[in-house]
């Protein structure tokens, strides 16, 4: 099958002796379980544009990281660790100029420095990363990021990411869509004037300890939709139309969905 372009392995895996180096024309390899096949030729698939691997275990971390560093034509990368374990640390993505979408499902010891991320990354999804520090400090420096999803409770349910989150002035210059889900420990979110100046859609869900909405939302005049789900009754009272203490922060938003 040397001419095959797209290979999607639904709920399946390659045998341990599988050799992939002859599939030099492969453009898509997704929904495949991790295994020793990664060492047997993944780095040779240099024409890959879409790669998705799940059930990643510790014994393949080094081979996977090394292989991905050589796949510089990637456009989309999706990785899921095994049973909530660690996502492997990566070498620099500075040469991955075409990589615009990343989905990482599993624990991250820490976020890479901004210069390690792909330079043209526009979509980033983090599920169950269990980061202990505010991720916005790093993520707001990604110059081309347009869509960000932080879903803390996808794997497991223990608290993560701390009690405070800050979006500073000038951060997230092109961000269009932000989804924040399951930050159970989050109590305060500060948005400085000049942050997220192009944001259009904001969803906050299952952040039950968040006491109030950020004052800085009133400065984001581009906001078109705000969706609040499974939040505390106290916060819902604060955003009540024309009466709540936080109403002045969001009254300029055309579409408000509070459930």
Residues 76 and 193 in one domain: no
Largest CA distance in the chain: 66
**Are 29 and 108 within one domain?**
yes
* Cβ contact 147:123 at 8 Å: yes
Are residues 77 and 136 both part of a single domain? no
Q: Higher pLDDT residue, 257 or 40?
A: 257
- Going by C-alpha positions, the residue among 97, 98, 77, 96 that lies closest to residue 88 is 77
Percent of residues, the chain, with pLDDT higher than 90: 65
Are residues 109 and 150 both part of a single domain? Answer: no
Q: What's the pLDDT band for 129 if we cut at 50, 70, 90?
A: confident
Same structural domain, 160 and 133: yes
Residue 92: per-residue pLDDT = 83
Q: Of 113, 141, 171, at which residue does a domain stop?
A: 113
Domain residue limits at 193: 122-259
Are 103 and 74 spatial neighbours (Cβ–Cβ below 8 Å)? no
82 plus 200 within the same structural domain: no
C-alpha 258/C-alpha 228 separation (Å) is 5
Residues 192 and 108 in one domain: no
Do 152 and 227 lie in one domain? The reply is yes
- Give the highest mean pLDDT range of 39-43, 62-66, 218-222: 218-222
Q: Model's pTM, two decimal places?
A: 0.92
Which tens digits make up the pLDDT trace of 220-248? 999 999 999 999 999 999 999 999 999 99
Shared domain for 37 and 164, answered yes or no, is no
Are 73 and 10 contained in the same domain? Answer: yes
Q: Is the per-residue pLDDT at 29 higher than 60? A: yes
- Looking at residue 152, its pLDDT comes to 81
Residues 88 and 3 in one domain: yes
Domain's final residue, options 113, 146, 180: 113
CA angle 125, 218, 248 (to 5 degrees): 125
Residues 53 and 181 in one domain: no
Residue ending a domain, choose from 95, 113, 131: 113
Cα(33)–Cα(148) distance, rounded to whole angstroms?
Answer: 26
Which of 10-24, 55-69, 158-172 is predicted with the least confidence, judged by mean pLDDT?
Answer: 10-24
**pLDDT for residue 87:** 87
Question: What pLDDT score was predicted for residue 84?
Answer: 64
The first and second tokens of residue 13, run together, are 């895996």
For residues 101-129, average pLDDT = 92
Please list the alpha-helical segments (H only) found in the chain: 61-70, 136-139, 233-238, 247-250
| pLDDT of 103 higher than 70 | yes
Provide the pLDDT for residue 10. Answer: 76
Going by C-alpha positions, the residue among 103, 69, 70 that lies closest to residue 87 is 103
Q: What tens digit of pLDDT does each residue of 187-223 get? A: 999 999 999 999 999 999 999 999 999 999 999 999 9
Please count the structural domains in the chain.
2
Radius of gyration of the chain, Cα coordinates, nearest whole angstrom: 20
């Amino acid at each position: 099958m040397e001419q095959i372009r797209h290979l999607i392995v639904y709920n399946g895996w390659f045998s341990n002796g599988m050799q992939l180096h002859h599939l030099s024309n492969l453009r898509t390899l997704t929904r495949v379980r991790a295994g020793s096949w990664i060492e047997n030729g993944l780095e040779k698939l240099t024409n890959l544009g879409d790669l998705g691997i799940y059930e990643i275990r510790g014994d393949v971390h080094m081979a996977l990281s090394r292989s991905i560093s050589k796949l510089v034509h990637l456009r989309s990368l999706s990785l899921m660790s095994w049973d909530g374990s660690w996502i492997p640390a990566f070498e620099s993505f500075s040469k991955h100029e075409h990589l615009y979408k990343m989905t990482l499902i599993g624990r991250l010891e820490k976020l890479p420095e901004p210069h390690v991320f792909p330079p043209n990354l526009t979509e980033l999804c983090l599920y169950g990363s269990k980061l202990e520090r505010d991720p916005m400090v790093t993520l707001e420096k990604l110059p081309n990021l347009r869509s960000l999803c932080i879903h803390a409770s996808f794997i497991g349910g223990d608290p993560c990411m701390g009690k405070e989150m800050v979006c500073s002035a000038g951060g997230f210059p092109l961000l269009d869509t932000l989804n924040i889900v399951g930050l159970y420990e989050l109590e305060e979110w500060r948005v400085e004037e000049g942050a997220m100046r192009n944001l259009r859609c904001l969803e906050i869900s299952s952040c039950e300890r968040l006491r109030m909405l950020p004052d800085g939302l009133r400065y984001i005049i581009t906001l078109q939709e705000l969706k609040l789900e499974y939040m505390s009754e106290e916060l819902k009272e604060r955003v009540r139309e024309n009466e709540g203490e936080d109403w002045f922060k969001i009254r300029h938003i055309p579409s408000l969905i509070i459930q």
